[in-house]
């Protein structure tokens, strides 16, 4: 079997398996990368999907293909437009200059030229396999990817992109949405909650950073502006709601996204968002963060996440102390908490560095969620490639939107919080000892 067909077959198989799982376990319209909820039923499949080995395997085929690549400079008057317009377009002399200058890829595509070529080869069978019915585009995978990435990276409107690439506006819309569809359907395993073995490595990195043991990630919530003029509002009875979409993420110490769930109203608090997600349900029911605890000072410390003040204190979710006194162990813990959450701050800042997300998203809600999901997947792909083109350092933590404070707890939650408080005190003591050593 030809390598190109084999790569397409493997990608198609992944897509069908994911679709089958989604049909068996339906979720909301939100983009939810927390695939580990299926792990208990399909452990082998989950390991297959959560591993990055398959992406490397597919990339071998894309690098070894012997074919003639069609670059932007070759796509001139021979291009056929989606809407039947066969009028010859201008040669893409401007894009000739772009493709000949490796540094320009970071500006226009938020990635290096080598990453662009790698991604183009990896996605080619999927980008070229579906054209609008009755209107073949006759565009190479490189051009399709370039148009889609330019939309995500710069946030330019479709008419501007059409002029830059020498195609019609309808073609630019198709290419941008097709790229998001391919990424969110076939490569969402690039954003997957780690297996128990992988979580051990995540915890080790956090412990090296602050001395806190058994931490499996940092949870946070980002909010992106929506353009209300484009039917991009979320359902709500509140006529005065803000035009924002909330996105919950979990990251490791390297800012790799472990879970992303998008599609919530922006005025909804972090606490309420968390409790309405599959991630919360999976942890509460013991399907995630269920490895053996670490014992410290007689306290069993189970696997947990680190969060900010917008989240509740739970046995598996450690948040800062309120009104910690200077020099106290509470303040020491809060400092460690802030240090660990820098990875989440950096992830949110990097996502908002994509041009389409740094301003009000001019799309319908479903497409806006797909854009967020696609940028999250690309974020992890860049980290996997050790490509820092779209990554940002955070200078001002106040820019990170924590959302409203968590609501008051009921009696049952108070009892749970007491257990969580004992764990947090033990962890705070551990941090202080770590700093002394």
Residues 6 or more apart from 55 whose CB is under 8 A from it? 122, 187, 190, 384
Please give the structure tokens belonging to residue 269: 């608090």
Burial of 327 per CB tally in 10 Å (0-12, 13-18, 19+): exposed
In this predicted structure, the answer to whether residue 11 has a pLDDT above a threshold of 70 is no
**Which one of 20-24, 63-67, 274-278 scores highest in mean pLDDT?**
274-278
Please give the structure tokens belonging to residue 41: 């039923």
**Helix, strand, coil % in the chain, rounded to nearest 5:** 50, 10, 40
Mean pLDDT of 357-364: 93
Mean pLDDT of 56-78: 38
Higher pLDDT, 68 or 398: 398
Mean pLDDT of 383-399: 77
The tens digit of pLDDT for each residue in 246-285 reads: 999 999 999 999 999 999 988 899 999 999 999 999 999 9
∠ CA(71), CA(73), CA(76), 5° rounding? 110
Residue 165's pLDDT is 87
In this predicted structure, the answer to whether residue 84 has a pLDDT above a threshold of 50 is no
The tens digit of pLDDT for each residue in 127-180 reads: 988 777 667 788 888 989 999 999 999 999 999 999 888 889 999 999 999 999
Query: Could you tell me whether strands 299-301 and 304-306 are parallel, antiparallel, or unpaired per DSSP bridges?
Result: unpaired
Q: 216 φ, ψ to 5°?
A: -110, 10
Mean pLDDT of 386-398: 75
The tens digit of pLDDT for each residue in 92-115 reads: 445 566 667 778 899 899 999 999
Cα–Cα distance, 53 to 144 (Å, whole number):
26
In this predicted structure, the answer to whether residue 217 has a pLDDT above a threshold of 80 is yes
Cα–Cα distance, 316 to 324 (Å, whole number):
21
**Using an 8 Å Cβ cutoff, are 375 and 348 in contact?**
no
Residue 231's pLDDT is 53
**Using an 8 Å Cβ cutoff, are 178 and 127 in contact?**
yes
Cα–Cα distance, 42 to 36 (Å, whole number):
9
Categorize the per-residue pLDDT at 334 as very low, low, confident or very high, splitting at 50, 70 and 90: very high
∠ CA(166), CA(172), CA(174), 5° rounding? 140
Strand partners, 111: none
Number of C-alpha atoms within 13 angstroms, CB side, residue 311?
24
In this predicted structure, the answer to whether residue 36 has a pLDDT above a threshold of 70 is no
Residue 166's pLDDT is 86
- For residue 181, give the 3-state DSSP assignment: helix
The whole-chain average pLDDT of the chain stands at 79
**Residue found under tokens 């290096």:** 112
Mean pLDDT of 65-75: 38
Cα–Cα distance, 149 to 108 (Å, whole number):
8
Percentage of residues in the chain with pLDDT exceeding 70? 69
What's the Cα-to-Cα distance from 383 to each of 48, 196, 276, 318, 386, rounded to whole Å?
20, 21, 29, 26, 5
In this predicted structure, the answer to whether residue 356 has a pLDDT above a threshold of 70 is yes
- State the pTM of this model: 0.79
Please count the other Cβ atoms lying within 10 Å of the Cβ belonging to residue 129: 12
What's the Cα-to-Cα distance from 96 to each of 76, 116, 203, 293, rounded to whole Å?
11, 15, 46, 57
DSSP secondary structure letters along 382-409: HHHTT--TT----S-GGGS---SPPPPP
């Amino acid at each position: 079997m030809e390598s190109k067909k084999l790569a397409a077959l493997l990608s198609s198989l992944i897509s069908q398996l994911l679709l089958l799982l989604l049909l068996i376990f339906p979720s909301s319209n939100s983009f939810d990368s927390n695939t580990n909820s299926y792990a208990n039923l399909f452990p082998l499949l989950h390991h297959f999907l959560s591993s990055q080995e398959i992406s490397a395997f597919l990339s071998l085929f894309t690098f070894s293909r012997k074919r003639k690549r069609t670059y932007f400079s070759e796509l001139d008057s021979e291009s056929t437009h989606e809407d039947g317009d066969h009028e010859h377009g201008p040669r893409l002399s401007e894009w000739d200059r772009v493709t000949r200058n490796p540094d320009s890829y970071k500006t226009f595509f938020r990635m290096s030229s080598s990453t662009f070529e790698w991604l183009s080869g990896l996605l080619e069978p999927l980008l070229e396999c579906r054209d609008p019915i009755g209107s073949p585009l006759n565009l190479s995978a490189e051009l399709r990817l370039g148009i889609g990435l330019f939309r995500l990276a710069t946030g330019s409107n479709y008419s501007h992109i059409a002029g830059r690439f020498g195609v019609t506006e309808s073609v630019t819309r198709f290419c941008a949405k097709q790229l998001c569809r391919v990424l969110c359907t076939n490569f969402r395993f690039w954003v997957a909650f780690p297996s128990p073995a992988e979580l051990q490595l995540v915890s080790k990195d956090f412990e090296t950073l602050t001395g806190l043991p058994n931490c499996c990630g940092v949870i946070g919530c980002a909010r992106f502006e929506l353009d209300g003029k484009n039917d991009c509002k979320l359902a709500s009875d509140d006529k005065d709601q803000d035009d924002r979409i909330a996105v919950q993420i979990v990251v490791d110490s390297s800012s790799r996204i472990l879970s992303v769930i998008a599609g919530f109203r922006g005025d909804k608090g972090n606490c309420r968002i968390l409790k309405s997600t599959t991630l919360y349900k999976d942890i509460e029911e013991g399907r995630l963060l269920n490895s053996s605890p670490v014992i410290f000072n007689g306290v069993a410390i189970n696997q947990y996440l680190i969060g900010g003040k917008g989240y509740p204190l739970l046995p598996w979710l450690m948040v800062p102390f309120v009104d910690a006194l200077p020099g106290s162990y509470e303040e020491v813990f809060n400092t460690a908490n802030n240090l660990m959450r820098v990875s989440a701050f950096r992830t949110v800042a990097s996502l908002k560095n994509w041009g389409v997300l740094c301003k009000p998203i001019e799309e319908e809600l479903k497409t806006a969620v797909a854009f967020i999901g696609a940028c999250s997947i690309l974020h992890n792909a860049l980290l996997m490639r050790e490509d820092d083109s779209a990554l940002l350092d955070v200078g001002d933590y106040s820019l990170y939107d924590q959302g409203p404070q968590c609501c008051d707890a009921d009696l049952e939650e108070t009892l749970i919080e007491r257990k969580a408080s004992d764990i947090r005190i033990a962890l705070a003591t551990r941090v202080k000892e770590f700093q002394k050593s």
